[in-house]
C-alpha cells in the first residue's frame, strides 16, 4: 500500500469515527418521538408568512392554512411582503370576506433580506404561539395542535417537524430527511436539536429574540438563541409538512448550498456555545460541527488521496476511482441507487457543505433568496 493510500485510509477512519459513535449512542438511547411532556393545549397563534412574488401559489398556501384543524378565531396571519407582483393584493382579496383569521400585512418598500423581514413580522405577532411557515410548503392539518402540545411543556419553547412527503419525488432529499430525522430525534432526547425548518417551526412568543440582519439560517438561529436563553428546542416527527426538492446533482446546489452557508456561518458565530448549555453544547453542537464544518473537508481530502493513490498504483487505470465516483453521483442524482440512496443523500449534503465553506471563505452570501421556478411547479 503506497503512502497516499495509507493517508486516505487514515482520513476515512477519522471522518467515520464520530458517526460510528453517534450510531452507538442512538442504539443506547433508542429515542422515539418528541421528548416533550405533551399536553392538550389551544393557545392563540400567530402564523408568520414571508412572501416574495408568490402570485402563482399564494392562494394554494392560504387554502392550506385555512384547512388546519384549529379554531381560526384564535389565529392571526402576519404576512411580511416584499413582492413586486400582485401577491399582497391577492392576499387581501382572499381574506376580505373572511372574519378569521385576522390579517396583518406588512408591505416592504424594498427587499431588505429575509431576516430583517422576519424580525418585523415577529415584532408584529401578538399571539401566544408563533408559527413560521414558507409559501412553497404544505402543512399537515394537525400541525398546530401537535406544536401546541409540545410547547405546553414548560421547559420547551420551540419545536420543529419533518418533511414527511418530498414534493417532486426526490429520493435524494427523502433519504437525507430520513437520516436527519433520526439525528434530530436523538438530539432532542439528549437536550435540544440544532436545525429548525422553514416550512414549519413554532415558538413561544415570549421566547422570541431578534435574529441577525444578515442571517441565512433564520429559523435555526432563533432556536439556537432560545436554547442559549435557557429553554429547550426540540424536534417532533409527528409534526409533518411537505416541501419540494430536486434529486439532480446540479439543480440541488441552488437549494442546498445556501442552506449550508447559513448553518456553517451560524455555528462559527456561536462557537462560544461549545461545551456549554448541558448536552447541547457538549454533544449536539460538536456533532454538528463535525458534520457541517470538519467532515466535508475530510471527504474532499479522502477523494483526492484515493484518486492519487490509484493513479500511483495503477497509472491511467487509476482513473477508475473518479469514474466510479461520477457513476455514483449520476445514479444517485437520478434516484437509481436503491438501498444506497440514503448514503448518497448524506454524500450530496457533504458536497453542499464543502461548497458552502468555500463560498463563505470567499466572502459570498447575503440575506436574500432566489425563487426556484421548477420547485414552485412541483408545489403547484
The reported pTM is 0.92
Taking the CA atoms of the chain, what radius of gyration do you get in angstroms? 22
d(CA 181, CA 146): 17
> Which residues does 155 contact at the CB level (< 8 Å), separation at least 6?
36, 231, 232
Closest CA to 19 of 186, 258, 189: 186
Instruction: Tell the residue number behind the cell numbers 416533550, with chain if given.
Output: 36
Backbone angles phi, psi at 370, to 5 degrees: -105, 145
> Could you give the 3-state DSSP secondary structure of residue 61?
helix
pLDDT per position as a tens digit, 89-139: 999 999 998 989 999 999 987 778 889 999 999 999 999 999 999 999 999
How buried is 182 (Cβ within 10 angstroms: 0-12 exposed, 13-18 middle, 19+ buried)?
A: middle
pLDDT per position as a tens digit, 220-237: 999 999 999 999 999 999
Closest CA to 184 of 26, 16, 293, 299: 26
Q: Check residue 232 and give its pLDDT.
A: 98
Q: Average pLDDT across each block of 10 residues of the chain; the chain has 380 residues. List them in order.
A: 84 92 94 97 97 92 96 97 92 92 90 90 97 94 98 98 82 84 97 96 98 93 98 98 81 79 95 97 97 96 92 86 92 89 90 93 69 64
Amino acid at each position: 500500500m503506497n503512502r497516499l493510500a495509507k493517508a486516505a485510509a487514515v482520513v476515512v477512519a477519522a471522518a467515520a469515527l464520530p458517526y460510528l459513535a453517534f450510531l452507538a449512542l442512538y442504539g443506547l438511547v433508542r429515542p422515539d418521538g418528541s421528548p416533550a411532556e405533551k399536553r392538550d393545549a389551544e393557545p392563540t397563534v400567530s402564523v408568520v408568512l414571508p412572501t416574495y412574488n408568490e402570485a402563482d401559489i399564494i392562494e394554494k398556501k392560504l387554502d392550506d392554512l385555512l384547512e388546519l384543524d384549529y379554531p381560526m378565531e384564535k389565529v392571526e396571519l402576519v404576512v411580511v411582503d416584499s413582492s413586486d407582483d400582485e401577491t399582497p393584493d391577492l392576499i387581501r382579496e382572499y381574506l376580505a370576506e373572511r372574519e378569521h383569521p385576522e390579517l396583518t400585512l406588512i408591505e416592504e418598500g424594498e427587499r431588505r433580506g429575509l431576516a430583517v423581514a422576519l424580525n418585523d413580522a415577529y415584532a408584529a405577532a401578538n399571539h401566544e404561539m408563533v408559527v413560521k411557515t414558507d409559501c412553497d410548503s404544505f402543512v399537515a392539518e394537525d400541525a398546530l395542535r401537535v406544536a401546541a402540545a409540545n410547547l405546553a411543556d414548560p421547559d420547551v419553547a420551540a419545536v420543529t417537524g419533518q418533511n414527511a412527503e418530498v414534493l417532486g419525488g426526490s429520493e435524494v432529499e427523502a433519504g437525507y430527511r430520513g437520516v436527519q430525522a433520526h439525528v434530530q430525534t436523538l438530539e432532542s432526547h439528549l437536550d435540544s436539536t440544532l436545525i429548525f425548518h422553514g416550512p414549519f417551526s413554532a415558538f413561544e412568543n415570549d421566547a422570541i429574540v431578534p435574529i441577525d440582519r444578515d442571517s441565512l439560517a433564520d429559523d435555526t438561529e432563533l432556536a439556537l438563541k432560545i436554547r442559549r436563553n435557557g429553554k429547550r428546542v426540540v424536534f417532533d416527527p409527528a409534526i409533518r409538512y411537505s416541501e419540494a426538492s430536486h434529486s439532480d446533482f446540479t439543480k440541488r446546489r441552488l437549494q442546498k448550498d445556501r442552506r449550508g452557508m447559513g448553518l456553517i456561518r451560524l455555528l462559527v458565530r456561536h462557537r462560544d456555545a461549545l461545551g456549554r448549555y448541558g448536552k447541547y453544547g457538549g454533544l449536539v453542537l460538536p456533532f454538528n460541527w463535525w458534520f457541517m464544518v470538519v467532515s466535508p473537508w475530510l471527504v474532499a481530502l479522502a477523494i483526492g488521496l484515493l484518486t492519487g493513490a490509484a493513479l500511483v498504483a495503477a497509472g491511467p487505470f487509476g482513473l477508475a476511482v473518479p469514474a466510479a465516483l461520477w457513476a455514483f453521483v449520476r445514479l444517485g442524482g437520478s434516484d437509481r441507487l436503491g438501498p444506497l440512496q440514503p448514503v448518497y443523500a448524506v454524500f450530496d449534503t457533504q458536497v453542499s457543505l464543502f461548497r458552502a465553506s468555500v463560498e463563505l471563505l470567499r466572502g459570498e452570501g447575503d440575506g436574500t433568496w432566489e425563487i426556484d421556478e421548477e420547485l414552485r411547479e412541483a408545489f403547484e
